[in-house]
Structure formats: structure tokens, C-alpha cells
Structure 1
């Protein structure tokens, strides 16, 4: 059988990494960035999207450590405008989390709480958490970006894959683990989530953000090699439940990026209670992606113009600073919220060491 069109029934080469089902439907047949053949399917049982066949963990590790940033970001280390953008994203996520989980944003007496950022990129979230008084560390698979975080920002960001490095994190040690645009890159998300759950302290939270695979985009944009998994809100929540985690806060189901905050569930959910979606959701979303509606929506919202203006503003703003440390110090300092004299000094060697 040859997969040719969106909606075509498919018996997958590798089973769904969430529920184990092999029955699927074709969503897309080529890489939206390169045009090369790439099969993306949606599970008929739980709705999770994935490429088929799934790559091995070792193949992914080798590619992300050396090639991912170059292939999709055209960079070995981040430009200052990328540091600015990532720093602003870190602030936006923290403000959302503080609204949804005020207990995490409340001042904490005594020793600093621990946080771990998985997929730390060039270290902007780790830097923000340290600014806020947390004892923050990070894990980043790309050698160049991890090196930048360590050397340019003096941050404790370890280079390696999630599955490699999470083993070095003590059990029940983290009050907060963050994972932004990482889950969609994994081959075995259940194993990863269960290992992360082991590191959460009692009452600890895991904060995840992934792209919403049903969002409006051009017909060939959504599916590409760098993303092994594709989520709707139900398939994301179902994966959390299968990993033994319960949702305590979530973004709206139609947001461009899906956010979820979870904690370790007191007991495994009954099968009937696990959130499920159907392959139809991703299939229908892809079938709705047509050039004319997409271009009309772009014209109506003037999104390309807004994006161009935003990029120009980023370049102008980033050009004011000599380096990433100075830029983040200004960005995070302008937000306030530092701890008093008992907390670590923002973006200093003392704050970023250890």
C-alpha cells in the first residue's frame, strides 16, 4: 500500500508511542521545509500525530547534537536578536505560569527552589529563573547552543539528550521542570515523561509547551523532519495521563501553542478516563489548509507585515547591546521581581555558577 493522500488509511511501520496502536490515517506525505518525502500519520485510537517510521533515539541524538540548529536555524550559536526573542518568550511563559499557578510565583523563604529547563537552547529561561531567585539548571542537546549558555552567560547548562542527562538529576529534587518545544522532537515521549516525573519534588510541576498541530498555516508548513510528534489538546492530555501525570492548568485548545502544567497523579487513570482524540482532527485540519484561504487570512491580518516589523525591531533593539549577558540583564531587570539581597545577583558569575 502506498500513502498518497491526506486521510488515506495506513498500517504504520512503528506503533503509536502514546497508546501502541498501529492503525493510522495519512496526514501528509512530504517535508514542508525541504520538499523531500516524509510520511506523517495520525493514530486512529488516540489522535497523536507522528512521522512513520519513527526514528531511533540514537539517530535523533546524533542529528540534534550537530545538525538541527544548522539545518533549521542556520546557526551554530544564537545571534543577539535570537537571544532577545527567546528572552521575551521566557518572560511570556513565566507570566502565564504565574497566573495559572500563583504558588510557584510566590516569594519563598529559605533556600532557593530548584528548576530544570529541558531543551534549554542558549539559556534564556535558565537565566530568567536565576534572576527570579531559583536555583536553575538546564539540559541542551546542541553542542554550540549549550556552549554559548555556559561560556557567554556562565550558566549551568549540560550538553546531552534528555534521556542521557535526566539520569544525573536526583529524584524528587525539582520544584519546577520546564520543557518548551521539546516534546514534539522525541521518539519515546512516555519514557521521557516518566523519567522527568521521578525528578519532581512533592508538589512539583512540569510545564510543557508544544505547537498546536491544528493551527492555521500554509498547506505545506506544518509537517517536517525535526518534529516527530504532532499534538492536539486531547492527544497531549492523553499522553500526560498515560505517563502517570495529571493536568492542573492548560491553555485554550485553539491556541497556536498548547501549554500544559502537570503534576504526578496520585493513581493511574482508568482507561476509560484517558483523554482521546481521533485521527480525523489532524486529517481535517490538514484538508482545510489551502493556499487561497491562507493567503486571504494573511492579507486580512497583515501578519507578514507585522512579522517583518517585529524582526526589524528585534535587530534594532539587539544592536544596542554588546553581548547576550548585557541584553538579558536589561530585559529581565526591566521586569522587576528580583529577590532581595538574600537572592542571587542577576546575571553575575555567582548567580550562574554551580
Structure 2
């Protein structure tokens, strides 16, 4: 309806779009859950093993407290895992609670779960069958959850264990319904805030943010139900009936025992669970001995100030030697909020951007600490695990320039995420990794790389000379102290005709100018050099390489606006529990929570802008990063 006074649509007509959007979202979620439910396999009866009695040797069944599996279920699970080539199998009880089923189906698509080499391990937290070989490689006690007098892990511990185990069986982990397995009677504290928060954290999910989102969603549903007539009532009703619509109908192997109760009481139970989760998530964690030791170490490091972590400023460009230097950006540590301020200068002759003064080796150790490993290791692993499409695109870039390479060295491999994903593209290739951190050893134990070399690349160049057909450096050169020496090492390690693949942030990106110090790829203080593409092409030619391909749009990372919001929010409200900061106080915690809550709509808007920006970058072949592929043709 249009107002005769203003000529604009009335508010009542406009807000119905909110109800329509909610109906579409809830309907799509319900259909998706039902589709995923149908994709869940079920264990066959035990006699299905053609060889008679299934083999149980070499397997361990880990169960949560209160969950008991009968021998027939164990043998059926062993037979199924053997037949499917699985090394880890999470078992879903046939009577698993409805909201647990819905929560699991939101996180994982059973049809794609096994083939997603970087996907996080997910399960019901009730029972998991694991090969003893995987348990040994993962360094997990083979008797956990079993043995006389052992209470076994609780659900949160088992959920965390499943995440870890999938890392050691990246393409050999599955889910299956065990119809005869019962989830047991809920413990008295099963629905309390502490238990819910522990289970969410065990799955790598942020309890506070999820509770806030759930409360906001419930408030929105209540508003549209009260103010938008039939459309609003339909949206609220769809949410209310969602458990039955998604999980009810024809009786299958998964039959939630509480489906009727969960559907009838859903709004009240959801509200109560969200309030309890939010209340407990806001409480400070009790510091552990490791936390106290970390705080003491940082205080000792900071007692002498941060100036000692910086070298004297150099007057010339490390790339071309020009003395025409100007300040590009000055910025504090927006990544972790550690003390210090850093300057990036740009050369007027070659446009090279570099940290000046740069960090000393001791400074690098201080600012890298607890980012990729230690306190920040889990978060970094989650981020890297979501870049599967980018990893596969990097590997696919080589297809037009030869067959499957026999040997590939990934320099700056971290925990080996790229190598793990690239195996799906080049299954016959031997992937090795090199990195300064301990993560490369973990990558070797997981089987994500065949051999892991820990140390500086130039130090290994002579030992590895001529060994590899491909050397990759994806977002690595910008972290190094001397990128030209790293290119020299790549030329030495490659066999004649070998390929070097490089990906870097592009300091000539338009977004670098638009966002200023909030542009994520500045990544201070970790990034030492930001190299324009013409400079890299010239350096490769000087070392006997011919550039075969250069990509800008496909290399774009869609995080410009989201990253700017994240860096700004971190700067305004740093983590109150960071061990290098002042002691946390209730006032600091409240301020941090308020900033994070206010940032939520900004994150949503940034995600939309990044989607538009990414589409434009793909079409225009211009983005915030570039890839280059070159062949070694001369000495």
C-alpha cells in the first residue's frame, strides 16, 4: 500500500519482507536438515559381514560417560568401517535428542564429510570407533574411555577428541547411525550453562557469540509474530515446528526419543538454553598453570620495553637500493594487541613496501608467539581449515603446464593445510613441507606432509638441491627477512624445468589505499615485505625463471571489509584475558563485550560488501593478492 501523503510504501507493507526472509531462511534450513538426515548411513546388522564374524582386532570404541555399546554394535561398526575404508567412525545413537541432531546437521553435510580433507571432525559426542594406528599417531592413550575403573570422557571431551582424530584421518573419517545404541539418560547437569559452553568450545564454536545470535533471532521472531500478522505468525510457527518437520515423518534408523517434547517446548527451551549459555560464557575462565606461566613469561619479556625488538632504521630500499623512501602506514599490533608500533615505508623508485625499522629475530619470536601455535593455535587452524577452495585453486593452476609432479615442497607450510588439500588434486604427488614452527612436525605426524623440515629455507637449500619438481611459497615471502635469498633457495632446490608457485598480497591494491591502516594484508608486525608484481617478475627473471602465468582476480581473498571490522574491534576492545595485557577487570570485560556486540551488524554488512568486492575482483582480474607461476629454465 502507498501513502497518499508521502508517495512511499507504508511501513506495514515493507516490514513483511522481514517475515518473508525469515520464512525462506527457516524453510531452507529445514529442507537442508531433512536432506542431510537422509544422507546419514546406518550400520547394517552384524551378520552382514561376508567373512562371518567381523574383525574387532585393531579397533577401539570410545564412549562417553553413561553411554554403553553392546558387542553387536561394536562388531557391526568394525565391519562397516573396514568395508568403507574408514579409520574413524562416529556413531550416532538411534535415540539421539532432536536438538542435538539438528545442531549436528547444521555443522556437517554427511554426503561430503568424508571427502572434505580440511573439514573439522564432528559427531554426537556419544561413541566413536577409532583404529589403534590412528590413536597411536595422534598420541592419544589407547585406553581412554575404556578399562576398569575408568569413567571415560564426558561429551565435551569426546567432541574435542573427534575434532583431533579427523586431522589424523583426513579422508577416512565418517558418521553412521547405530540404531541399537542409546544415548543414555541425560545427566542432571546436561542442560546447564557450564556443560553447554564446554561442549560448544570443544567443537571450536564461540559460545557467547552463538548465544547472542540465538537471542537476537528469538527476539526478531517474537517481534514479527506480534506485529506482522499472518506472515509473522507463519515464520514463528515454522521455527516452532522445525524439529518435527525436519526429523519426523517415516520412521528411519534415527528416531529422537524426545521429538514431540522438543517440538512442543522449543521456544521456551531455546530461550532458556541461550540465556544460560550467555550467562556462563560471560564468566571469566579459571586460569590454569599454563596460563599463569604464560603471563609471567610475557611480563618478563616486556619489562625491558619493546624498542629492543626493532633494528635501527635503514635509509635505503632493500629491493633496489634507492633512498627515496616515504611512510606508507604506521600501525600498532592490531592482530593480537601486543605493545609496539610499526612503520611500513614505500620506495619511490620501485614501489617496494617494507617494515622499517624491521623486527629483530627476537622481536619476530615475541610477536609470532601464541598466534599460529599455543594460545592462538586453534583459532588459526580453524581459519586455515576454511580455505580449501583457495588451496585447490592454487594446485589447479599447474594443470596447463605439465602432468602430475612427482615431488612438491611447500615452503612456509605451517601445519600443512595446503598440502593436505592439494592431495585431492594431485593424489600421486609426494608433498613435503618446510616451516620455522613446530607445526611442520605435527603435519608430518598427521600425514599431511611426507617429510617436514623445520628451519630457515636458505639453510636447507644445499641439502635439498635439485630434489623437487615444484616449490610453492603461498603467502610466505612477505613474512621473510630477505625475500631475494628465499628466491635463490627456490632456484637451487628445483630440478631443471621445475616450477615455482608464489602467492602474495598486492600492495598496489585499491583497497590498501581505501582502508589505510585497517587493511588486513598489512598484517603488522608479521609482514616484513610487500612486493609489487613487476618487482617479483624481474627478480624471477634474474634467477633464470620464465613466468608462465599471473593471476590477480582468482587470488583475491574476500576479507577486506570483514578484516577491517575485525582489526578495528580488536583495537577498540582487545581480549581482556590476553596474557601480555594488564589484568582483566569487570569493567574491561564489559567494555569488550559491548564493543563485540556492537560490531555484529558491522560484520554482517562487511560480509555483504566483501561478497560484492570478490565478484568484482574475479571479473576485473584485480584484487588484494596475486599468484605467479614460473619455470626454471636457466642457471
Checking the alignment, whether the CA contact within 8 Å between 1:179 and 1:207 is kept in structure 2 is: yes
Aligned to 1:220: 517
Aligned to 1:278: none
Aligned to 1:42: 346
User: Secondary structure at the residue paired with 1:220?
Assistant: helix
Distance of aligned partners of 1:198 and 1:176 in 2 relative to their CA distance in 1, 3 Å threshold:
same
Aligned to 1:146: 440
Cα separation, 2, equivalents of 1:15 and 1:254: 34
Which sections of structure 1, spanning at least 5 residues, go unmatched?
1-11, 258-297, 309-354
Q: Determine if the alignment matches structure 1 residue 27 to structure 2 residue 328.
A: yes
Higher relative strand content: 1
Aligned to 1:202: 496
- Per-residue deviation at 1:182? 0.4
Q: Determine if the alignment matches structure 1 residue 304 to structure 2 residue 602.
A: no
- Per-residue deviation at 1:303? 4.1
Q: Determine if the alignment matches structure 1 residue 92 to structure 2 residue 389.
A: no
Cα separation, 1, equivalents of 2:517 and 2:457: 29
Distance of aligned partners of 1:128 and 1:168 in 2 relative to their CA distance in 1, 3 Å threshold:
farther
- Per-residue deviation at 1:237? 2.2
CA RMSD of aligned residues (A): 3.4
Aligned to 2:415: 122
Cα separation, 2, equivalents of 1:78 and 1:168: 34
Cα separation, 1, equivalents of 2:497 and 2:442: 32
- Structure scoring higher RCO (CA < 8 A, sep ≥ 6) equals 1
User: Secondary structure at the residue paired with 1:76?
Assistant: helix
Cα separation, 1, equivalents of 2:381 and 2:556: 25
Checking the alignment, whether the CA contact within 8 Å between 1:48 and 1:232 is kept in structure 2 is: yes
**How many residue pairs get matched?**
244
Higher relative helix content: 2
Distance of aligned partners of 1:78 and 1:32 in 2 relative to their CA distance in 1, 3 Å threshold:
closer
Q: Determine if the alignment matches structure 1 residue 15 to structure 2 residue 316.
A: yes
Matches within 5 A, 1:249-264: 249-252=549-552, 256=556
Aligned to 2:128: none
Checking the alignment, whether the CA contact within 8 Å between 1:138 and 1:158 is kept in structure 2 is: yes
User: Which one has the largest radius of gyration?
Assistant: 2
TM-score of the superposition, structure 1-length normalised? 0.59
- Choose from 440, 458, 480 the match for 1:186: 480
- Per-residue deviation at 1:118? 0.3
Cα separation, 2, equivalents of 1:64 and 1:242: 33
- Per-residue deviation at 1:46? 1.3
User: Secondary structure at the residue paired with 1:168?
Assistant: coil
Deviations 1:260-303 (A, max 9, x none): xxxxxxxxxxxxxxxxxxxxxxxxxxxxxxxxxxxxxx99x954
TM-score of the superposition, structure 2-length normalised? 0.35
Cα separation, 2, equivalents of 1:54 and 1:154: 33
Aligned to 1:69: 372
- Per-residue deviation at 1:68? 4.4
Cα separation, 2, equivalents of 1:65 and 1:204: 32
- Per-residue deviation at 1:29? 1.9
Aligned to 1:103: 401
- Choose from 224, 230, 255 the match for 2:530: 230
User: Secondary structure at the residue paired with 1:246?
Assistant: strand
